[in-house]
Amino acid sequence: MKWMYEEMVKIRYYEDQMVEVYSEGKAPVFNIGAGTVPGEMHLAAGQEPAAVGICAHLTKDDTVTAPHRPHHHAIAKGVDLKRMTAEIFGRETGLGKGKGGHMHLFDPAVKFSCGGIVAAGLPHAVGAAMAAKMKGTDWIAVSFIGEGAANAGAFHESLNLAALWNLPLIVVVEDNAYGISVPKTSSTSVASNDMRAGAYGIAGAYVKDNDPIAMYKASEEAVSRARDGQGPTIIEIETHRYLGHFQGDPELYRDKEEVPGLRKQDPILKLKKQLQADGIADTELEEMEQLAKKAVDEAYQFARDSDFPKPEAALQDVFTSEMTKEVE
Amino acid sequence: METAKKRMLSGNKAMAEAISQEMKRDPNVFVLGEDIGVYGGIFGSTQGLMETYGPDRVLDTPISETAFIGAAIGAAAEGMRPIAELMFVDFFGVCMDQIYNHMAKIPYMSGGNVRLPMVLMTAVGGGYNDAAQHSQTLYATFAHMPGMKVVAPSTPYDLKGMMTSAIRDDNPVVFMFHKSLQGLGWMDQLDESVGSVPEEAYTVPLNEAKVVREGKDVTIVGIQMMTHYAVKAAEKLAEEGIEAEVIDLRSLAPIDKKTILASLKKTHRLLVVDEDYLSYGMTAEIAAIAAEEALYDLEAPVRRLALPDVPIPYSSPLEDFVIPGAEQIYEEVKKLLDEN
């Protein structure tokens, strides 16, 4: 629980800093391609429980695929925070040498990837789960998606395949209630996507109230099921996105009072109260908060201090020229 | 004099042998796709693999191209070397996102940190009355997108050698094989679908075109089936004293400009023949290469012969009319030589 708290603080602080940094150079006229961090930016403040609740059970050998809103998953999975930030800044020290950006973070060292196409990471997680099984390991694969992605063909094809082959796959559906502007009630035929587990003959769980502890418990079960060869699970968590779909989103589709109301129920505050009730001293909590913030500050500083790639580097990395080592 | 007896194999057996030898050599190699197991592949490319390697390494999949091609990507990222079959290239529409947005782009977006050593093999080609959704070649669609090597071998020897290279390559390779060149019992039996294939494993590079017939009067660049027709046309032209040089392009991406340009320096005339659509296709690409880098070597405008821009029709006279054949190639060369 302490780990979860520290990670949640780190993620929130990371995203709050990003709000600031992202606005640098975009004023007075909002120009998406201008400033310190160019391009679209999808932030996850409020959605931390989904990421930390399950990543608490994962090792670096487990694979995680994430969607276009990936920072909370990346941080919880242990992606190199400095190189991740440098990538978002478009610097040569970034995870992808500045070729991917914030929606395309790849850190093979902790087996993390994400991508900008809705539901497309699911089949990749199926493949990782296949590889784990073929290699005879107890590694598992977790694919995070939004609730909107559960209506895509890739979701249904992947779950059928994972169920059919009894793969160690967990699909975490983050139900933040909106697919960009369209509410879940207008897009999804079932009340919650864990109900769809029945269609594939696999396990499903629903986590209410954006609760990190409930997410931790549901994940614990799903992870042990996957590691024991008992097949896939869908976990849907009710969560909340405090910010727009992307930075600059006018959010005309929701009530002005919605977010302030949600923030009063903030999962980080709830977990903090729980830890205090469990007897964790305030000084220890503060120390954890400071450590988390320090890591984030250092990552932003590393990104700022890093050089931009040479323009000609754009022509590299289409193909690798190395051939695979001879195998016997 | 040949002393050793040459072993003859059909195209599909040559492919299956390459896959089998690589599966034996490297435990990370596995195959997945529709009907590739017990059936041995609709076009026979995986014949015999199920018997040898079993269902753990030869995986029949549901009709879910997005899921299993995406799964091949995910497995490749974990160090496996999957070979996925997209049964007909015409079906790419149901899974193209995985192919061009993920397979082709992840290595680049990761700054080279993620490698996807995978093969996507798929059947192309018409000429057997299967109509518009089962007869396309679509070479250019795949060759147009950066991040995939795209090959189209035309002989059993190259099918085996290029498949071996494709499996060993650390990049995603789209391996397009022609149905008519597989030697299938249920298709027209073409001499070209059977050829000499060594038993041992060998590789053929994925980036080199091949001069299959030398000549001095005109260069014909062909791809796969069209190369065979070009050779037939060249034989007829030779009877009239016209020596056509025929290049089998083999590798669509990366493309071997050197071999094309060297030939143009010698022959000064170019005809490009393609079974894919005319506009924005391989013929346009090769014509552009000639215009950019060999314009002053040319003594006549480049000619192109390809599928007119229509979906492939069903009825024989219609299909025969739109897909180029040896006779049309012969006529195009005659026209080319009549210029100036």
B286-338 pLDDT, tens digit per residue, is 999 999 999 999 999 999 999 999 999 999 999 999 999 999 999 999 999 99
Residue at B332 is within a domain: yes
B217-272 pLDDT, tens digit per residue, is 999 999 999 999 999 999 999 999 999 999 999 999 999 999 999 999 999 999 99
Do B43 and B153 fall within a single domain?
yes
B132-170 pLDDT, tens digit per residue, is 999 999 999 999 999 999 999 999 999 999 999 999 999
Residue at A321 is within a domain: no
Instruction: Reduce the DSSP state of residue A29 to 3 states and report it.
Output: coil
Instruction: Assess contact for B12 and B163: CB atoms under 8 A.
Output: no
Structural domain ending residue among the three candidates B163, B178, B198: B198
**Structural domain boundaries, residue B322:** 210-338
The residue-averaged pLDDT of B178-187 equals 92
Query: Nearest CA to A226 among A4, A54, A67, A73?
Result: A54
CA A301 to the chain's CA centroid? 23
pLDDT at position A322: 56
Q: Which residues of A touch B80 (CB under 8 A)?
A: 127, 130-131, 134
Cα distances (angstroms) measured from residue B297 to each of A82, B208, B282, B292, B303: 54, 22, 21, 11, 15
Q: CA B171 to CA B98: how far, in whole Å?
A: 15
Residue at A206 is within a domain: yes
- The overall longest dimension of chain B from CA atoms, in Å, is 63
Helix A282-305 vs helix A81-88: crossing angle, to nearest 10: 50
Q: For A147, which DSSP code?
A: G
Asked if A115's CB is within 8 angstroms of B110's CB, the reply is no
Domain count, chain B: 2
Query: Nearest CA to B262 among B207, B219, B205?
Result: B219
Residue at B92 is within a domain: yes
- R_g over Cα of chain A: 20
Residue at B2 is within a domain: no
Q: List the beta bridge partners of residue B53.
A: none
Residue at A167 is within a domain: yes
Structural domain ending residue among the three candidates B175, B198, B221: B198
State both tokens at B291.
């215009």
Residue B278: its H or E element: none
The residue-averaged pLDDT of A159-187 equals 96
Instruction: Assess contact for A65 and A143: CB atoms under 8 A.
Output: yes
Do B268 and B174 fall within a single domain?
no
Structural domain ending residue among the three candidates B198, B226, B253: B198
Residue at A292 is within a domain: yes
Query: Nearest CA to A12 among A215, A301, A269?
Result: A269
Sign of CA pseudo-dihedral A158, A159, A160, A164: positive
Asked if A120's CB is within 8 angstroms of B110's CB, the reply is no
pLDDT band at B185 (very low <50, low <70, confident <90, very high): confident
Residue at A191 is within a domain: yes
Do B181 and B322 fall within a single domain?
no
Whether the pLDDT of residue A304 is over 60: the answer is: yes
Asked if B112's CB is within 8 angstroms of A328's CB, the reply is no
A153, A164, A320 member nearest B66 (Cβ): A153
Q: Is B168 on the interface with A (CB under 8 A)?
A: yes
Domain of B117, CATH number, reads 3.40.50.970
The amino acid occupying position B134 is H
Residue at A319 is within a domain: no
The amino acid occupying position A219 is S
pLDDT at position A63: 98
Do B20 and B108 fall within a single domain?
yes
Query: Nearest CA to A94 among A172, A26, A39?
Result: A39
Instruction: Assess contact for A236 and A207: CB atoms under 8 A.
Output: yes
The residue-averaged pLDDT of A5-31 equals 95
A212 backbone dihedrals φ, ψ, rounded to 5° = -65, -35
Q: Is A45 on the interface with B (CB under 8 A)?
A: no
pLDDT at position A206: 98
Helix A2-23 vs helix A212-227: crossing angle, to nearest 10: 110
Instruction: Assess contact for B108 and A92: CB atoms under 8 A.
Output: no
Do B152 and B60 fall within a single domain?
yes
Do B159 and B258 fall within a single domain?
no
Residue of A nearest to B69 (CA): A123
Residue at A128 is within a domain: yes
When the pLDDT of each residue in chain A is averaged and rounded to a whole number, the result is 96
Residue at A313 is within a domain: no
Q: Supply the DSSP string of B168-203, one letter for each residue.
A: H-SS-EEEEEEGGGS--TTS---GGGEEE--SS---
Domain of A133, CATH number, reads 3.40.50.970
- The set of residues, in sequence order, having a beta carbon less than 8 Å from that of B42 and lying 6+ positions away, is B34, B35, B87, B123
Instruction: Reduce the DSSP state of residue B303 to 3 states and report it.
Output: strand
Interface of B with A in 55-94 (CB under 8 A): 56-57, 61-62, 64, 66-82
Whether the pLDDT of residue B339 is over 90: the answer is: no
Residue of A nearest to B146 (CA): A318
**Structural domain boundaries, residue A282:** 2-306
Domain of B323, CATH number, reads 3.40.50.920
- R_g over Cα of chain B: 20
| ipTM for the predicted complex | 0.93
- Residue corresponding to tokens 């060297």: B262
Instruction: Assess contact for B174 and B254: CB atoms under 8 A.
Output: no
Sign of CA pseudo-dihedral A91, A96, A99, A100: negative
Domain count, chain A: 1
- Residue corresponding to tokens 């590739």: B36
State both tokens at B332.
């195009």
B30, B69, B109 member nearest A96 (Cβ): B109
Instruction: Assess contact for B70 and A127: CB atoms under 8 A.
Output: yes
Helices (H) and strands (E) in chain B, counts: 12, 14
Do B110 and B25 fall within a single domain?
yes
Of residues B134, B144, B178, B228, which has the active-site annotation? Answer: B134
Active-site residue, B134 included: yes
